[in-house]
Amino acid sequence: MEQVEKLKIGQKVEIHSYKHNGKIHRVWKYGYVVDIRKNCVVIVNNKTRVIESSGRVWHTKEPAVCFFFNNSWYNIISMLRSNGVHYYCNIASPYVWDGEAIKYVDYDLDLKVYPNGSMKVLDEKEYSMHHVSMNYSDKLDYILHNELDILKHRMQDPYAIYHKNHVYDYYEKYLEIKEEYNNDRY
C-alpha cells in the first residue's frame, strides 16, 4: 500500500467537498496549511477560486481560516469581514488527506455564527431532501444531529482554536507563509 505524504505547514492544498452519494460538490483552489494539530488541520485562503459541481466558477470575497477535524463531524470556516469574524460551520464527515486534497462529505446542515454570537441553522430542507434521496441511515442522522448540538455548544468556547482571537493570529501566519512562498518562487 502506498504511503500518503503527510501535510506540512506552508503547503498549498486544494479542498474537495463531496456529497453522500460520492459525487463532487465543490472544490476550493487553493489554501495554505498554517497549523497541524493531533485532531485538526488549519488552512487559510483568500479570494480563492471555487468550482461548483455544475461547473460554475466564482471567487471567495474575503480571507477564510478553515478548521478541518479528523474526529468530529463538522468543519468550521471563519470569514474575516470588516464587521468581525463570521463562522460558517458545515456538518460534514471528518476530513481525510489523500495526498491530493483535503476531502470530506458535506451533509447539508450548516450553522452560521455571527460576530455577536447569535446562531442560525441553515439548509434544513436540503438536509431532509437528501436524507431521503441519498438514503442517510438512522445512525448517520443521529450522528449528524448530535454533532450539530455539540457544535452549537463548542462555538461558545472562548478558548477554542477557532475563537476569533486565534483566527486573526492564523491569518497573520498565512500572510507570512504566503510572502515566503512568493519569495521562494521568483
* Catalytically annotated residues: 26
**Which residue from 147, 154, 7, 171 is spatially nearest to 78, judged by alpha carbons?**
171
Distance in angstroms (rounded) separating the CA atoms of residues 43 and 41: 7
**Which residue from 124, 161, 160, 114 is spatially nearest to 144, judged by alpha carbons?**
124
1, 35, 46, 173, 185 from 169: Cα distances, Å: 38, 11, 15, 6, 25
Provide the CB-side half-sphere exposure for 53 (13 A, CA). 10
Distance in angstroms (rounded) separating the CA atoms of residues 45 and 123: 24
**Which residue from 184, 174, 185 is spatially nearest to 46, judged by alpha carbons?**
174
Grid cell at residue 54 = 455544475
- Are 166 and 158 spatial neighbours (Cβ–Cβ below 8 Å)? no
